[in-house]
Amino acid sequence: MEVRDIAPGLWLWRVSHPDWSESSDWEPDVASFAVESRGTRVLLDPLAPPPGEREAWDRIAAFAPEVAIVLKPDHVRDVDLFVRWFGVRAYGPQLFWRDDVPRAELVPVRPGDELPGGLQACFDGRDTQETPLYLPEQRALVFADALTAPDGELRVWATPWHEERVLPALRALLDLPFERVLVSHGEPVHSREDFLAALEREPWSEWTGA
C-alpha cells in the first residue's frame, strides 16, 4: 500500500488488484489518481483500498471527491462504490466488457471532451478503447493502459496497429505542454523525456517478454 504526492493538487494511491493472478500480463500493484483542478476534486480509475488501510481512506475522505472518471472499459474498478459512498458524478466509456458493466450511469467521455476541472480527454490511437486525460493545472498526462512501466521503464503497450495508429496519436500529444506522465501499471510517475523515449522503444507485450 502506498500513498504518494506528485504535484500540488495531484496524488496517487497504489494497491494490489484483487483480480491479479500469476497469468496476468501486468504487475499486481496498480495506481489510482486524485486531482484537484479548477476547484473540482476528481478521482481517476479509482480502486478502493482494503478496509484496513486507514491512511489511504482518510486521505480520500479528506479529499471529498466530487467526480470519478473511468479511462478505459476494463478499468471500471470500484467506481460504483465511490458513487455510492461519496456521491461522485461518474464519467467514462460508452461500452464495457460483458462482466464489468457498472451499475452507475456514466456520462460518456470522448476524445476532445473537456471534463470537470478542465481536464481534457485525449485520443491514443487504440480504437478509442481508452481516453487518456490531460491535467492542465498539473501539466500531466494520465493513461490507463496505453502506456505501462514494467520494471520501472515506460513502454507503449503493444497493439496490432502500433505503427500506423498508436504512435502518430501519441506523438500528437506532444503538442500539449505536459511535464509528467502517469500510468496505472508499474512505476506510476514519469517525465516528458521518459515519454519521448517510450515512443522509440519496442512496444511491450507479454509475448515479447519485453
Q: pLDDT digit string (tens) for 25-50?
A: 656 789 999 999 999 999 999 999 99
Mean pLDDT is lowest, of 57-61, 65-69, 98-102, 114-118, for 98-102
If pLDDT is split at 50, 70 and 90, which confidence band does 103 have? confident
Mean pLDDT is lowest, of 14-23, 60-69, 72-81, 116-125, for 14-23
- Pure H helices in the chain: 54-63, 79-86, 167-172, 192-200
Q: pLDDT digit string (tens) for 161-209?
A: 999 999 999 999 999 999 999 999 999 999 999 999 999 999 998 644 3
The residue type found at 9 is G
Between 112 and 127, the more confident residue is: 112
pLDDT for the residue numbered 21? 55
Q: Degrees (nearest 5) of the Cα angle 63, 13, 186?
A: 150
Cell numbers found for residue 133: 486525460
Structural class in CATH, domain 2-200: alpha beta
**Is residue 210 pLDDT above 60, yes or no?**
no
Burial string for 178-192 (b: 16+ CB within 10 Å, else e) reads bebbbbbbbbbbbeb
Domain ranges, ordered by start, for the chain: 2-200
Mean pLDDT is lowest, of 64-68, 104-108, 165-169, 196-200, for 104-108
pLDDT for the residue numbered 208? 42
Q: What share of the chain is helix, strand, coil (3-state, %, to 5)?
A: 25, 30, 45
Task: Specify the residue for cell string 512505476.
Answer: 187
Cell numbers found for residue 21: 493472478
Q: pLDDT digit string (tens) for 114-162?
A: 999 999 999 999 876 789 999 999 999 999 989 999 889 999 999 999 9
Q: Is 200 exposed, middle or buried (0-12, 13-18, 19+ CB in 10 A)?
A: exposed
